[in-house]
Amino acid sequence: MKHIIEVNGIKLYAFHGCLPEEGKIGGNYLVDVWMETDFQLAAETDTLENTIDYVIVNKIVAEEMAIRSKLIEHVGYRIIEKLKTTLNNLHQIKVKITKICPPINGDVENVAIIIEESIKKV
């Protein structure tokens, strides 16, 4: 049986990008986090300690998005690493960062990166 938890559409204003203006003006972002875990015990006992706390996921995403990077690829990597070291019982994780209205020469609604990783059990 697979147990999936998603925290989708985390809306943030951040200052990522290679252009100096992006560091000053900033822009809108959406972040989606998908996690495969085992929350059977939480389902049986109705206890938060036996599952992934959405508040912690949102907090980590917000903290990492607040650190300026040139590339959203770098931000995504940091988010994945922090979630892996903070959350217990992760089997697989996927993070999608969407940059709304990127400053590129064209009519583009958004650009996005997706990082997906299986967690090796030790």
pLDDT digits (tens, 9 = 90+) for 61-89: 999 999 999 999 999 999 999 999 999 88
Please identify every residue annotated as catalytic. Answer: 99
**Is the pLDDT score of 121 beyond 70?**
no
**Total residue count of the chain as it appears in this document:** 122
Q: Would the pTM count as exceeding 0.75? A: yes
- pLDDT tens column, 3-39: 999 999 999 999 999 999 999 999 999 999 999 999 9
Domains annotated for the chain, with CATH where assigned, are: 3-118 (3.30.1130.10)
Cα separations (Å) of 50 from 23, 36, 40? 39, 14, 8
Using CA atoms, how far apart are residues 20 and 99, in angstroms rounded to an integer? 16
Q: Given pLDDT bands bounded at 50, 70 and 90, which one contains residue 105? A: confident
